[in-house]
């Protein structure tokens, strides 16, 4: 394994903004917050009512904490106001709409002004330069182009820093490999599950990504994944993997991103005001405590969102980062508050199980959690092809090892089904890890 | 002396065993002997076929997880105590048997036992020393 790539400390896209002092940042945040609150109060009936109900006067904002008096904006609010209900500018100012589809009900529409797109591309540029990507790099973008923000926003940011972008989109693995070889791709932007699938496809073709490809780094986003999975991907490809965090509601990727130290993701606080709350009570938690990330956009023009519940579980990492950036970091996403499931009265995040599985030899990349009752949990695990030696004892040992390790972590004894490699559906977008067949 | 055996990992899914056998049938591969080891969640299908390399290829093409192992086939008298005699030899030589399966020859006079011991070479040596007839691969395929 190579040592982690530490990027030169002078690699900044917007140095002054990235190393801004704590007080200057707070002043800047308050200034942008006040402007944003005034605009939504005058232009968005939904927020006008909310402010009045809370007795909050946008002309009289004293501190960032004042917004705690406002109730949260949720994805349901976005759906209820679909498509243009939350616009803070006239429709003519909108140059782009992205939607974020839920599994149920109506879609959420997120509108962008020209400047909103410019801002998100700039934030991506910060992220790319922070991790060493720039002119001379060839970035193969394997996220979905289209209504999903993941690919397009990254695309703009990558072009901004002068990288050559291959807008490959996801899927069509044969072609991805061909492109990587033909163009000497150095950077990939990809989901964790697809990167694992791509790795096994490379392996099957006898291509060693460490020797036969020109890859240097990967940006992984769109799905939560564990540190073990990161290590696995880094080892298979012989590259550095950086966590990327974003959501369509906050203009897509580039909200928070890891630097060369790979110790949490710097959240660009001059563009977003972050709070961590207890997802059950809504109470704001101290730095370092695990909870749901709530974001307030500070500079979005077309559709500013105030105290938006991301449903993503994380925590603020306290302390100064060696890279010199002052923007506070969030930990990798530990799960979605709506992905969490309860079995035998225990709260479980799929990522906890993933973390255990990826640390066990003999387990392939794909797994699925099956919930048939409130007392039982079945985990379907693909075995690694190399593991199978025809000996049933070895399979039974693997089954026992998985059972014991998962039980030690989540305190519920799972039933483990061993599957043939490739048995589970392969995702080329977001992987569906939990199948909940329970009825209330 | 060693005989190639094909082991196929089978997950617990309806029709999966049939799919494996169908793949072999389509490739016109005749099965000489077969055994299934199973647990409630998965199983292993073990096969003796005349062309094990071909069978492996066919199964892998059908996305099965396959492993070739060496086993030993011995001939025992088809009468009470026939198999016990073979096992005593191995037990006396302190050799563990991982698994075995047996079938009766068409003539009905002899039975064939397919054995997998922890150490195949040691197993062969012990059986030979005791004068037990070890079948050559060709003899098994011709049965």
> Which of A128, A103, A364 shows the shortest CA–CA distance to A232?
A364
CB atoms B65 and A420 under 8 Å: yes
Q: Which of residues 419-438 of A touch B (CB under 8 A)?
A: 419-423
Complete DSSP assignment for A183-227: HT--EEEE-HHHHHHHHHHHHHTT--HHHHS---EEEE-SS---H
Interface contact B11-A418, CB threshold 8 A: yes
**Prior bond to A77 cis, omega within 30?**
no
Q: Is B143 on the interface with A (CB under 8 A)?
A: no
- Note whether A320 contacts B: Cβ–Cβ < 8 A: no
Q: Is the pLDDT of residue A127 over 80?
A: yes
Secondary structure class of A410 (helix, strand, coil): helix
Find which of B16, B40, B42 to mutate to test the A interface (most A CBs within 10 Å of its CB): B42
CB-based burial label for A361 (10 Å; 0-12, 13-18, 19+): exposed
**Residue A378, pLDDT score:** 94
d(CA B102, CA B75): 10
As given in the structure block, the two tokens for residue A22 are 């704590």
Please state, in angstroms and as integers, the Cα–Cα distance from residue A219 to each residue in A86, A139, A233, A234, A426, following that order. Answer: 31, 10, 11, 11, 20
pLDDT band at A429 (very low <50, low <70, confident <90, very high): low
Best residue in A370, A380, A392 for a mutation probing chain B (most B CBs within 10 Å): A392
Report chain B's mean pLDDT, rounded to a whole number. Answer: 90
What residues of A are in contact with residue B13 (Cβ under 8 Å)? Answer: 423
Question: What's the average model confidence in pLDDT over A247-265?
Answer: 94
Residue A201 in contact with partner chain B when CB distance is under 8 A:
no
Q: Are strands A415-419 and A378-383 parallel, antiparallel or unpaired?
A: parallel
Residues 6+ apart with CB under 8 A from A431: A191, A192, A193, A223
Q: Which of A68-72, A88-92, A392-396, A401-405 has the lowest mean pLDDT?
A: A392-396
Residues A175-180 have a mean pLDDT of 96
Inform me whether the pLDDT recorded for A272 exceeds 90: yes
Name the residue in chain B with its Cα closest to that of A390.
B7
Split at pLDDT 50, 70, 90, the class of A80 is: very high
pLDDT at A180: 97
pLDDT band (50, 70, 90) for residue A178: very high
C-alpha distance from A388 to closest chain B C-alpha (Å): 7
CB pairs under 8 A between A and B: 51
Question: Worst-scoring range by mean pLDDT, A43-52, A100-109, A214-223, B129-138?
Answer: A100-109
Which CATH number is A1-337 given? Answer: 3.40.50.12780
Of chain B residues 17-56, which have a CB less than 8 A from chain A?
Answer: 37, 39, 41-42, 44, 46
* pLDDT for residue A262 is more than 80: yes
* pLDDT over 50 at A207, yes or no: yes
User: Is the CB of residue A371 less than 8 Å from the CB of residue A340?
Assistant: no
Q: By CA distance, what is B10's nearest residue in A?
A: A420
Give the C-alpha separation, A368 to A349, whole Å.
13
Give yes or no for a contact between A345 and A357, defined as CB atoms under 8 angstroms apart: no
Alpha-carbon gap, residue A440 to B21, rounded angstroms: 41
- pLDDT tens digits, one per residue of B79-101: 888 889 999 999 999 999 999 99
Nearest-neighbour CA in chain A from B10: distance (Å): 7
Closest residue by Cα to residue A421 from A167, A260, A197: A197
How large is the angle between the packed helices A392-410 and A350-358, nearest 10 degrees? 140
Contact A390 B10 (CB under 8 A): no
Please answer yes or no on whether A420 and B67 come within 8 Å at the CB atom: no
pLDDT of A9 > 70? The answer is: no
Closest CA to A299 of A81, A75, A156, A118: A118
What is the arithmetic mean of pLDDT over A109-133?
Answer: 97
The residue whose two tokens read 């009766």 is: B104
How, if at all, do strands A346-348 and A341-343 pair? antiparallel
Sign of the CA dihedral with A284 first, then A322, A257, and A95 last: positive
Smallest Cβ–Cβ distance between A385 and the set B7, B44, B65 belongs to B65
- For position A430, what pLDDT does the model report? 59
Q: What is the DSSP letter of B28?
A: T
Put simply, the answer to whether A392 touches B69 (Cβ < 8 Å) is no
**pLDDT (mean) for A279-289:** 93
Q: A415 and B41: CB-CB below 8 Å?
A: yes
Res A362 pLDDT > 90: no
Tokens found for residue A173: 């693995």
Looking at per-residue pLDDT, the higher value among A90 and A424 belongs to A90
Residue A111 has pLDDT above 80, yes or no: yes
Facing residues of A274 across strands? A295
Q: Do the chains contact at B11 and A420, CB–CB below 8 Å?
A: yes
Q: Is the pLDDT of residue A279 over 70?
A: yes
pLDDT category of residue A103 using cuts at 50, 70 and 90: very low
How many whole angstroms separate alpha carbon A268 and alpha carbon A255? 6
Q: How confident is residue A400, by pLDDT bands cut at 50, 70 and 90?
A: very high
Min Cα separation A177/chain B (Å): 21
pLDDT of residue B111: 87
Residue of chain A nearest B116, judged by CA positions: A391
Is the CB of residue A80 less than 8 Å from the CB of residue A108? no
Residue closest to A165 by CA, chosen among A183, A181, A182: A183
ipTM confidence: 0.83
| pLDDT band, very low/low/confident/very high, at A386 (cuts 50, 70, 90) | confident
Query: Which CATH number is correct for A341-436, 3.40.50.2000, 3.30.300.30, 1.10.510.10, 3.40.50.10320?
Result: 3.30.300.30
Report the range out of A146-150, A221-225, A415-419, B107-111 with the highest average pLDDT: A415-419
SS3 label, residue B132: coil
Residue A104 has what pLDDT? 46
Judged by a CB distance cut-off of 8 A, whether residue B141 touches chain A is no
In the prediction, which pLDDT does A10 show?
Answer: 67
- pLDDT in the model for residue A19: 94
- For chain A, give the mean pLDDT: 91
Say if CB B68 and CB B6 are below 8 A apart: yes
Contacts of A388 in chain B (CB under 8 A): 7, 9, 65-67
Tell me, what's the pLDDT at B58? 95
What's the CA gap between B4 and B140, in Å, rounded?
11
pLDDT range class, residue A440, cuts 50, 70, 90: low
pLDDT for the residue numbered A343 = 85
Q: Give whole-number Cα distances, A158 to A13, A16, A114, A164, A243, in Å.
A: 12, 21, 18, 8, 16
CB A255 within 8 A of CB A267: yes
Q: Are A190 and A142 in contact (CB under 8 A)?
A: yes
CA atoms in the 13 A half-sphere facing the CB of A50: 24
Q: Which residue has the tokens 């790099």?
A: A137
A61 touches chain B (CB under 8 A): no
Short-list A220, A224, A277, A297, CA closest to A253: A220
Asked if A372 and A379 count as a contact pair (C-beta separation under 8 A), the reply is: no
Residues of A with Cβ-Cβ distance to B99 under 8 angstroms: 392
In this complex, which of A383, A417, A420 lies closest to B64 when CB atoms are compared?
A420
Residues of B in contact with A391 (CB under 8 A): 98
Chain B residues within an 8 Å CB radius of A383 = 9, 65
Measured between beta carbons, the chain A residues lying within 8 angstroms of B63 are: 420, 422
Contact A120, A153 (CB under 8 A): yes
Element holding A335 (H helix, E strand): strand A335-336
Structure token pair of residue A430: 């977001």
- Per-residue model confidence (pLDDT) at position A108: 87
Tokens, residue B7: 């082991």
Domains recognised in chain B with CATH numbers: 2-69 (3.30.2130.10), 70-141 (3.30.2130.10)
pLDDT in tens, A22-69: 999 999 999 999 999 999 999 999 999 999 999 999 999 999 999 999
- Name the closest residue on chain B to residue A399, using Cα atoms: B41
DSSP letter, residue A3: P
Q: Where in chain A is the domain with CATH 3.30.300.30?
A: 341-436
- Residue intervals of chain A classified under CATH 3.40.50.12780 are 1-337
Binary contact (B44, A390; C-beta < 8 A): yes
């Amino acid at each position: 394994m190579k040592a982690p790539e530490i990027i030169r400390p002078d690699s900044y896209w917007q140095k002054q903004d990235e190393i801004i002092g704590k007080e200057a940042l707070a002043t800047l945040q308050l200034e942008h917050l006040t402007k944003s609150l005034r605009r939504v109060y005058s232009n968005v009936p939904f927020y006008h009512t909310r402010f009045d109900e809370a007795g909050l006067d946008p002309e009289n904002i004293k501190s960032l904490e004042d917004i705690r008096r406002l109730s949260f904006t949720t994805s349901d609010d976005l759906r209820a106001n679909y498509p243009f209900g939350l616009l803070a500018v006239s429709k003519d100012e909108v140059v782009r709409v992205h939607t974020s589809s839920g599994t149920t009900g109506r879609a959420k529409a997120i509108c962008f002004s020209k400047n909103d797109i410019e801002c998100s591309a700039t934030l991506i540029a910060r992220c790319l330069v922070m991790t060493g990507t720039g002119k001379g790099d060839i970035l193969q973008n394997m996220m979905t182009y289209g209504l999903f923000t993941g690919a397009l926003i990254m695309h703009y940011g990558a072009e901004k820093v002068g990288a050559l972008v291959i807008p490959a989109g996801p899927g069509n693995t044969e072609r991805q490999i061909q492109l990587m070889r033909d163009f000497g791709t150095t950077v990939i932007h990809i989901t964790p599950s697809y990167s694992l699938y791509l790795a096994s496809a490379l392996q099957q073709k006898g291509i060693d990504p460490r020797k036969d490809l020109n890859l240097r780094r990967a940006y992984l986003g769109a799905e939560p994944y564990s540190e073990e999975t990161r290590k696995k991907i880094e080892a298979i490809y012989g590259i550095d993997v950086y966590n990327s965090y974003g959501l369509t509601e906050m203009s897509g990727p580039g909200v928070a991103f890891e630097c060369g130290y790979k110790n949490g993701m710097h959240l660009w606080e001059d563009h977003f005001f972050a709070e961590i709350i207890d997802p059950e009570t809504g109470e704001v938690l101290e730095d370092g405590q695990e909870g749901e990330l709530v974001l307030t956009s500070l500079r979005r023009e077309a559709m500013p969102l105030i105290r938006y519940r991301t449903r993503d579980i994380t925590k603020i990492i306290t302390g100064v980062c060696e890279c010199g950036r002052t923007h506070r970091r969030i930990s990798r996403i530990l799960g979605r508050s709506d992905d969490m499931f309860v079995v035998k009265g225990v709260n479980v995040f799929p990522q906890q199980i993933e973390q255990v599985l990826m640390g066990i030899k003999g387990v392939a990349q794909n797994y699925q959690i099956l919930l048939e009752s409130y007392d039982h949990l079945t985990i379907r695990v693909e075995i690694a092809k190399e593991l199978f030696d025809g000996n049933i004892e070895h399979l039974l040992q693997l089954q026992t090892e998985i059972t014991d390790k998962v039980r030690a972590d989540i305190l519920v004894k799972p039933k483990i089904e061993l599957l043939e490699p490739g048995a589970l559906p392969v995702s080329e977008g977001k992987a569906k890890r939990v199948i909940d067949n329970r009825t209330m | 002396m060693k005989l190639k055996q094909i082991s196929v990992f089978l997950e617990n899914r309806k029709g999966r065993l049939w799919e494996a056998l169908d793949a072999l049938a389509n490739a016109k591969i005749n099965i000489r002997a077969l055994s299934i080891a199973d647990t409630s969640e998965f199983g292993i299908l073990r096969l003796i076929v005349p062309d094990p390399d071909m069978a492996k290829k066919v199964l892998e093409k059908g996305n099965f997880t396959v492993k070739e192992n060496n086993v030993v086939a011995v001939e025992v008298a088809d009468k009470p105590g026939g198999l016990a005699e073979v096992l005593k030899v191995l037990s006396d030589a302190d050799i563990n048997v991982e698994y075995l399966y047996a079938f009766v020859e068409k003539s009905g006079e002899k039975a064939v036992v397919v054995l997998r011991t922890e150490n195949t070479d040691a197993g062969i040596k012990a059986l030979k020393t005791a004068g037990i007839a070890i079948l050559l691969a060709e003899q098994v395929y011709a049965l």
